[in-house]
Amino acid sequence: MQSRTKKNEDTHHKIKADVTDDFASRVLLVHPLQSNSILNCLYDIGKDHLAVFDPIKGQFDAPLSAVNAIVKDNTMLTDDAVIGSHLSFTDDQYTDSFVDRPHIHWWWNGLFHANSGGDWETSLIAYIEPLSSFQNVMGCAPYDTMTMGSHQLSSHSCILVPQDSVDELKERLQNYEGRIIGFDPKTTTLRQAINQTIHNLYPQAFKLVNINGVDINELVLSGGDRNFDTKLCDAQDYDQYRGYFRKLFLKFPDAQIEPLMLNGNDIAYQPYKMFSTGRYVGLHSGSPTDNERNALINLLKKASKNPALIFKKENQSHFVGASSDVLPHQLCVIEAYAVYNKLLKLDPNTGAHDYARYLLKKAFIADYRSIYHANGHHDPLDRDYLKSLIETNFEILLQKIDALAKSGTKYDITAYRNTLSRSLDVSVIADKQDHTALKTEHMPDPKQTSFVSSTPSSSSPHGFWYNHRKAITTVGVAAVLGCAGAYAYYRSFK
């Protein structure tokens, strides 16, 4: 009886896998580069020499600037065809950095339609990649699919660029196994080029149609600057603010039509429902990673990039090392733990659990720095030592934060603070008389560092390239002597 049950389960899993694999093979994820966001990014990362200025119009040509950013430089598209390299958050767990939007956004089987945050109708660059090529798919809405972390374009992918840039890009991406396809922007829009490419190279793909039976990816609802044709949007059942069609249907190559989704997130197609199990379905706004307007997560972000902010008087109540009383709901670590639990509700294969640990570890790092500073030390904690602290004590710290989040008592705040303090090496935390003998360069004086917002100049929430930079600060060798013996930590500190 038991073996028969096991056999039935195996058969069920195989059928589910076959169904979802077939479904994923018919979905082509498309990521166009939002020109204004790319232009902003070029200035942000000090590569404004790639920006193209139009002297006739007296302004920058954002679409051509985006082409330069991809064709002539390896930051946003590396030489080995990796996109979103700045989203490899686990690689930068212990650097002074923070990834608050850890995914790449995609549209199904065509070009994004404009919404309140951006417009892609005049863009000139796009990547096309089958959904089946991805491992970490966190969100899977047709209008906003989110893949966690960076992604190396596969042999089944395509890069669409203006025709006169094809040879130069091929020269740079010599090991790229996919296709680089050119089009003439004077006669063909990016939307048209994408549709033609999918028609020619991916015949198994289905079309997305609306309540009128119209292919939504053939529609043009705006003019490139969020200047919507509102009558057309209404007639075609498009929500121009949120950026989705309220009802969607699938049209297969044999002309068969199946309902896909109703009211933005009500899934009607069974294979899609199976694929979405354990994933988020909806817009980024409201998702477990939608933390850009979260004040405490934003403070944690800024403090992770500039640890001196932890010690400013107005921020001390948000980190556990403060000598004055702190309230649990004001702590960054408690807010990070709340987001951590939201992310754990998703399937581990989405990459959400990895990001949950990344976020919580960033909060633990900030609290370790807070405790260290509260004990009279102003030199930075050695990165290797900090990593050892977090990796060794993560589970016990997780237990303490769970208890604190549930009770909200001073007792559990003290228990969490004591766990941090006790795990710090006695030679680091105890003897202040040796502090003057330290050879390590001090961190910036928090009095000289202001808590300044780093809001990007672009208002588009889709500009995920915008925060692509790493601040690197070099300091010397830290030698710490303690009553238990002599310890030395040698490391170049970023």
pLDDT at 467: 40
| Average pLDDT score over residue span 104-132 | 96
Cβ distance 369 to 428 under 8 Å? no
pLDDT at 117: 86
Residue closest to 25 by CA, chosen among 105, 113, 134: 134
Cβ distance 104 to 146 under 8 Å? yes
The CA-atom distances, in angstroms, between 190 and each of 29, 196, 303 are 15, 10, 40
Q: Mapping DSSP to helix (H, G, I), strand (E, B) and coil, where does residue 131 land? A: helix
Of the pLDDT bands very low, low, confident and very high (cuts 50, 70, 90), residue 484 is very low
pLDDT at 376: 86
Token output for 38: 């790319």
Of the pLDDT bands very low, low, confident and very high (cuts 50, 70, 90), residue 488 is very low
Of the pLDDT bands very low, low, confident and very high (cuts 50, 70, 90), residue 461 is very low
Q: Which residue has the higher pLDDT, 493 or 247?
A: 247
The CA-atom distances, in angstroms, between 316 and each of 212, 303, 313 are 57, 11, 5
Residue closest to 466 by CA, chosen among 35, 63, 28: 35
Q: Order of strands, edge to edge, in the sheet holding 158-162?
A: 137-141, 144-148, 103-108, 28-32, 126-130, 158-162, 179-183
Mean pLDDT score of the chain: 85
- Indicate whether 462 pLDDT > 60: no
DSSP state of 437: G
Of the pLDDT bands very low, low, confident and very high (cuts 50, 70, 90), residue 452 is very low
Q: For the chain, how many residues are written?
A: 494
| Average pLDDT score over residue span 327-340 | 97
Q: Which of 199-213, 245-259, 318-332, 436-450 has the lowest mean pLDDT?
A: 436-450
Of the pLDDT bands very low, low, confident and very high (cuts 50, 70, 90), residue 49 is very high
pLDDT at 135: 87
- Indicate whether 219 pLDDT > 70: yes
CB neighbourhood size of 215 (10 A): 14
Note the pTM of the prediction, 2 decimals.
0.82
Residue closest to 137 by CA, chosen among 115, 168, 105: 105
DSSP state of 308: G
Residue closest to 74 by CA, chosen among 175, 191, 145, 158: 175
Give the side-chain half-sphere CA count within 13 A for 180.
21
CB neighbourhood size of 74 (10 A): 13
Cβ distance 103 to 149 under 8 Å? yes
pLDDT per position as a tens digit, 393-436: 999 999 999 999 999 999 999 999 999 999 986 445 544 333 33
Helices and strands, number each (H, E), in the chain: 13, 19
Burial of residue 160, with CB atoms counted within 10 A of its CB: 0-12 exposed, 13-18 middle, 19 or more buried:
buried
Of the pLDDT bands very low, low, confident and very high (cuts 50, 70, 90), residue 18 is low
- Indicate whether 5 pLDDT > 80: no
Q: How far apart are CA 193 and CA 184, in angstroms?
A: 9
Of the pLDDT bands very low, low, confident and very high (cuts 50, 70, 90), residue 378 is confident
Q: Tell me how far apart the terminal alpha carbons of the chain are, to the nearest angstrom.
A: 60
Residue closest to 97 by CA, chosen among 470, 482, 438: 470
The alpha-helical segments, DSSP class H, found in 265-345 are: 270-276, 295-305, 332-344
Cβ distance 438 to 379 under 8 Å? yes
Q: Mapping DSSP to helix (H, G, I), strand (E, B) and coil, where does residue 485 land? A: strand
| Average pLDDT score over residue span 458-472 | 36
- Indicate whether 202 pLDDT > 70: yes
Of the pLDDT bands very low, low, confident and very high (cuts 50, 70, 90), residue 453 is very low
Q: List residues bridging with 158 in a β-sheet.
A: 128, 179
